[in-house]
Structure 1
Amino acid sequence: MKLDIKNTFIKELPADSMQENTRRQVENACFSYVLPKKTAKPELLHVSPEMLENLGFSKEDAQSEEFLKVFTGNAVLHNTQPYAMCYGGHQFGNWAGQLGDGRAINLAEVEHNNNHWALQLKGAGETPYSRTADGLAVLRSSIREYLCSEAMYHLGVPTTRALSLALSGDAVLRDVMYNGNPEYEKGAIVCRVAPSFLRFGNYEIFAARQDFKTLKTLVDYTIKHFFNHLGKPSKETYLAFFGEVSQRTLEMIIHWQRVGFVHGVMNTDNMSILGLTIDYGPYGWLEGFDFGWTPNTTDRQHKRYRFGNQPNIGLWNLYKLANALYPLIEETEALERILDEYKLDFETKSLAMMRSKLGLEVEDAFDVSLVQELEDNLMLTETDMTIFFRKLSDFKIEKPSEGLEIVKEAFYISTEIVEEIQQKWETWFQRYADRLGQEQTASEERKENMNSVNPKYVLRNYMAQLAIEDADKGDYKLIDELFQMLKKPYEEQPEHGKWFAKRPDWARHKVGCSMLSCSS
C-alpha cells in the first residue's frame, strides 16, 4: 500500500512530553502519541469504494492482510506515529474540562489528488484521554457511524466520512441504557476520514488553561492548512477565521434541518472547526415532524439538543469558541458582530431552505407565514417528515383539493385527520396552490427541483437497528444493501421501495429505534 503521507499535525504542533499511555491531564500539548490496541480476531465487514479511491487505495489494497491489520489497529503504516488529540468541551451546557480522543486514535494524514485527509480509528483502545472508559467501541454504534457518515455525504450534508467497518474479535462490556445492566457485545472499529478532526474543544482547552502560546500555535496551524485563503496570522485574519467557522457551522445545521437530522449531542467537543457533522452517537431522523424531538435519552428531560433547538445550540457553541479565540483578538464588538450575523443569516437561509423544499423560487413576503402555517399543520398529528415532503412534489396547482390525498401516506394514524384538521390542511393547500401560481416553473421541473432537496431515503433508526440485529447474528448483507441504497437518496430506486415507509409500530418504543444513549 503506497500512500502520500503528510504528518503536518504531529510535525507542526507540540506533543505531550510523556510517552506512557496513562490517564492524566495533558498540559501544553495538542496531542499524545499512542498505539492502537491489538485485537483478537479482526475481520473486515465493509469498505467504502469511494473513500478507497479518494485516499489512493486500490481494490487489491483493500483485500490485503496489511490493510486489514492497519485499519483494525494491529499494524502501523510506515513512516507514521499514531496519536490522540487533546481537547476540552462544554457538555450539556457545562464546562467539562479536558476530554480528548478517549476512543479515537489518529493514524496519519494522507494527500491524494490535491485533497488532504486525516485517518482515524474509532474504538481502537485506551488513550491518555480515556478517563474511566476502555477506549473501545461496539458493533452497533460502529454500524450506525459507518452507514450514517456516508449517507450524510450523499445527502449533500457536510460530514466526516468512513473508510471501513471491522470486527475486532473482542467482547466489549456496555450498559446500553445506563440502567445498571451491562452486557458483553461484539467489539468493532470504524476508520473515520476527514480533512481534519479538529473541533471547538481543541481551542477551548488552551483558553481555559490560559495557555495562549499553544492556542495561537494551533489557530495559526489551522489557518495555514485549512483556511489559507484568509492570509497570514493577524487579528483581522483571526476574526475572518471565526467568521468563516460561524458560516460553515450555520450551513451545516441548515442542511440538518432540511433533511430532518438530529445530532443528539451538540457539545462543543462534537463541533467540527470545518463545519462538518462529526461524532455520530445518538443521532436520528425525524419520523413524526416535531421540533421538540431528541433521539438522546440522556437529553430526554431538558431536550437541550432537540431538533428545533439545533440552530440556537450552534450559536451557543460559537459563543464558546469566540471566548476561546478572544485572547488572540481582544475585540468584543467585532466578535459579537459575527455572532449577530449568524442570527440574521439563519432567518434568511432557513427560509430559503424551506422555499426550496416547497419548490418556490420567487421570493414573496408572505412565505414566512406560509411556512409557519405548514409547520403548525405538520404537528397537528404525527406526520412523517421525509414522506410528506417527497410526496408534496406530486401536488398539482389546478387540483388543490387533492393535496391531502397526495400526502396521506405521511400520516401515521389517518383517522386523526378529523374535520377541523382537514379544514386547516385544505386551507393551506389552497394557499400553496395560489403561491405556486406566481412561479414560472413548469410542474415537472418543480417536481424535479423538489426531489433534489427532499430525499426519498434516509437512514431511519429502525433500518440501522435491523442491520445491527442481522450483524449480531453474523449476517452483513443488510449493511451493504443500505449502504448502496443511501448512495442515491434522491433517486426513486423502486427496487428499494420497501424502505420508503413510515417507522413500523414495533420500532416506536424499541431501544435503538426511538431511544439511544451516548454509549450507542
Structure 2
Amino acid sequence: MKLHLQNNFISELPADPSEINIPRQVQQAFYSYVLPKKPSNPSLIHASNEVANAIGLSQADILSTDFLNTFSGSTVYPETRPFALCYAGHQFGNWAGQLGDGRAINLTEVVHENRTYTLQLKGSGPTPYSRTADGFAVLRSSIREYLCAEAMHYLGVPTTRSLSLMLSGDQVLRDVLYNGNPAYEKGAIVCRVAPSFIRFGSFELFSSRKDYVNLKLLADFTIKHHFPHIQGEGVGKYLDFFHEVTQTTLNMIVHWQRVGFVHGVMNTDNMSIHGITIDYGPYGWLEDYNSNWTPNTTDRQHKRYRFGNQPEIALWNLYQLANALYPLIQDAKPLETILNTFSTDYEKEYLNMMQNKLGFQIKKEQDAVLILSLTQLLERVETDMTIFFRNLSNVTKKDTATTAFNTIKDAFYNEKDLNETILKDWHDWFENYKIRINEETLSDTERKEQMNRVNPKYVLRNYMAQLCIDDADKGDYSLLNELFEMLKNPYDEQSNFQKWFAKRPDWARDKVGCSMLSCSS
C-alpha cells in the first residue's frame, strides 16, 4: 500500500511544543502531535472502493494488512506524524473557547491526481483536546457517520467522505441518553477524508486570543493551498476568501433543505471552510415535513438547530467567522456587505431549488406563493417529505386535482387526520399545481425525469440506520452492505430495494436512535 504524502499543514504551521497527551490549553499552535491508541484486536467491517481509489489505493490495498494497521491506528504510516487540530467555537450560541479534535486524529495529507486529501481517524483515542472525554467512539455512532457521509455524497450534497469502518476490539463506556445509565459498547474507528478539516472555529481560536500573527498565517495558508485561484493581496484576498466560504456554505444549506437533512449540531466548530458537511453526530432526515424538528436531544428545548432554522444558523455562524477575520481586514463594511447578500442569495437559490423539486423548468416569480402554500400544507398533518416529492413526479398534466392528490396520499402517516378543510386546501393546491405544470413545455415524462434527479427515492432514515446498528452489534453486517449499495444510487428506482421506500414504521416513532439522538458517541 503506497500513499503519496504531502504534509503541508504540519510543515508550514507551528506545532504545540509539548507532546504530553493530557487535556490542557494549547497556546500559539495549530495542532498537537499525538499517536492513535493501538486497538487490541482491530478488524475491517467495510471500506469504500471509490474513496480508496480517490486517494490512490486499490481493492488489493483495502484487503492488505497495511490498510488494516494504518486505518485502525495500530501503526503509524512511514514518514507521517499524526496530529490533532486545535480550534475553538460557539456551541449552541455560546462561546466555548478552545475545543479541538477531542476524538479525531489526522494521520496525514495525501495527493492523488492533483487533488489533496486529509485522512483522519475518528475514535482512535484521547488527545490534548479531549477534555473530560476518552477520545474513543462506539460502533453505533461510527456506523451512522460512515454511512451518512457516503449517502450525502451520492445525494449530491457537499460532504466529507468515509474510507473505512473498523472495530477496535475494545469496549467503550457510554451513557446513551445522559441519564446516569452508562453501559459498555463495541468500540469502532472511522477514517474520514476531506480536503482539510479547517473550520470556522480554527479562525475563531486565534482571533479570540488576539493572536493575529497566527490568524494571518492560517488565512494565508488556507488560501494558498485550498483557494489558490484567489490571487489578490492584502485585504482583498481575505474578503474574496470570506465571500467564497459564504457562497459554498449557502450552497451546502440549500442542498440540506432539498433532501430534508438536519445536521443537529451546527456549532461553529462543526462548520467547514470548504462548505462541506462535517461531524455527523445526532443528524437525521425529516420523516414528516416539520420545520421545527431537530434530531438532537440536547437541543430539544430551544430547537436552535431545527430544520427550518438551518439557513439562519449558517448566517449566524458566518457572522462569527467574519468577526474572527475582522482583525485582518480592519473594516466591517465590506464584511457586512457580503453577509447582507447571504439572505437574498439564499432566497433566490431556495426558490430555484424548490422550483426544480416541483418540476418547473420555466421559472416564475409567482412560484414562491405556490411553494409557501405547499410547505404550510405539508405541516398541517404528518406528511413524509421524501415520499411526497418523489410521488409528485407521477402527477400528469391531464390529472384532475383529485387524481393528483391520490398520487401522493401514501405520504400521509394518518389519513384520518385529513379533515374536510385540509382536503379542500389540498384540492385547491393541486388545481393551481395542475395549471402551473400545463404552462411547462416539458412532457410529463421529461418533467418526471427532471424531478427524479433532485428528489431522492432513498435517504438514510434513522430507523434504517438503527436496524443496521442492531444487526452489526450482533456481528451481522449484511444490512450495512445492503444499505451502502442502495444509498449509492438514491435517485434510481432500484426495485430490488423497494421495501426501503416507505414511511417510518410506528415502532420507530419514539425508539431511541430512530427519532432523536444524543451527542453520545
Aligned-residue Cα RMSD (Å) equals 0.7
The residue correspondences of 1:212-223 to structure 2 (distance < 5 A) are 212-223=212-223
TM-superposed CA distance for 1:232, in Å, is: 4.6
The residue correspondences of 1:56-95 to structure 2 (distance < 5 A) are 56-95=56-95
Secondary structure of the residue that 2:163 maps to in structure 1?
A: strand
Say if 1:220 and 1:233, in contact at 8 Å, map to a contact too. Answer: no
- Provide the residue aligned with 1:279 in structure 2: 279
The answer to whether the aligner puts 1:499 opposite 2:496 as a matched pair is no
TM-superposed CA distance for 1:416, in Å, is: 1.4
Secondary structure of the residue that 1:169 maps to in structure 2?
A: strand
TM-superposed CA distance for 1:415, in Å, is: 1.6
The answer to whether the aligner puts 1:249 opposite 2:284 as a matched pair is no
After superposition, give the CA deviation of every residue in 1:306-361 in whole Å (9 maximum; x if it has no partner): 00000000000000000000000011010000000111101100000000000001
- Provide the residue aligned with 1:327 in structure 2: 327
Q: How far, CA to CA, are the matches of 2:400 and 2:442 in structure 1?
A: 17
- Provide the residue aligned with 2:440 in structure 1: 439
- Provide the residue aligned with 2:397 in structure 1: 397
- Provide the residue aligned with 2:6 in structure 1: 6
The residue correspondences of 1:88-487 to structure 2 (distance < 5 A) are 88-401=88-401, 402-487=403-488
Name the aligned partner's letter for residue 59 of structure 1.
Q
After superposition, give the CA deviation of every residue in 1:179-202 in whole Å (9 maximum; x if it has no partner): 111000000000000011111000
Q: How far, CA to CA, are the matches of 1:113 and 1:365 in structure 2?
A: 43
Q: How far, CA to CA, are the matches of 1:11 and 1:57 in structure 2?
A: 24
Q: How far, CA to CA, are the matches of 1:494 and 1:227 in structure 2?
A: 42
Q: How far, CA to CA, are the matches of 2:60 and 2:380 in structure 1?
A: 54
Say if 2:49 and 2:58, in contact at 8 Å, map to a contact too. Answer: no
The residue correspondences of 1:47-62 to structure 2 (distance < 5 A) are 47-62=47-62
TM-superposed CA distance for 1:3, in Å, is: 1.2
TM-superposed CA distance for 1:19, in Å, is: 1.4
Q: Structure 1 length as normaliser, TM-score?
A: 0.99
Q: How far, CA to CA, are the matches of 1:236 and 1:310 in structure 2?
A: 29
TM-superposed CA distance for 1:233, in Å, is: 4.0
After superposition, give the CA deviation of every residue in 1:185-241 in whole Å (9 maximum; x if it has no partner): 000000000011111000000000000000100110000011110115410010010
Secondary structure of the residue that 1:230 maps to in structure 2?
A: coil
Q: How far, CA to CA, are the matches of 2:394 and 2:256 in structure 1?
A: 24
Secondary structure of the residue that 1:407 maps to in structure 2?
A: helix
What are the ranges of 5 or more consecutive residues in structure 2 without an aligned counterpart?
Answer: none
Say if 2:48 and 2:162, in contact at 8 Å, map to a contact too. Answer: yes
Q: Structure 2 length as normaliser, TM-score?
A: 0.99
Say if 1:22 and 1:128, in contact at 8 Å, map to a contact too. Answer: yes
Q: Which 10-residue stretch deviates more, 213-222 or 59-68? A: 59-68
- Provide the residue aligned with 1:488 in structure 2: 489
Q: How far, CA to CA, are the matches of 2:421 and 2:23 in structure 1?
A: 61
Q: Which 10-residue stretch deviates more, 231-240 or 427-436? A: 231-240
After superposition, give the CA deviation of every residue in 1:72-112 in whole Å (9 maximum; x if it has no partner): 11001111000000000000000000000000000000111
Q: How far, CA to CA, are the matches of 1:197 and 1:428 in structure 2?
A: 45
After superposition, give the CA deviation of every residue in 1:54-81 in whole Å (9 maximum; x if it has no partner): 1111111111111101111100111100
After superposition, give the CA deviation of every residue in 1:408-448 in whole Å (9 maximum; x if it has no partner): 11000012112111110010001001111211111110000
Name the aligned partner's letter for residue 323 of structure 1.
N
Secondary structure of the residue that 2:165 maps to in structure 1?
A: strand
Name the aligned partner's letter for residue 404 of structure 2.
G
Q: How far, CA to CA, are the matches of 1:76 and 1:448 in structure 2?
A: 48
Q: How far, CA to CA, are the matches of 1:515 and 1:245 in structure 2?
A: 30
What are the ranges of 5 or more consecutive residues in structure 1 without an aligned counterpart?
Answer: none
Name the aligned partner's letter for residue 466 of structure 1.
L
Q: How far, CA to CA, are the matches of 1:120 and 1:186 in structure 2?
A: 20
Say if 1:400 and 1:426, in contact at 8 Å, map to a contact too. Answer: no
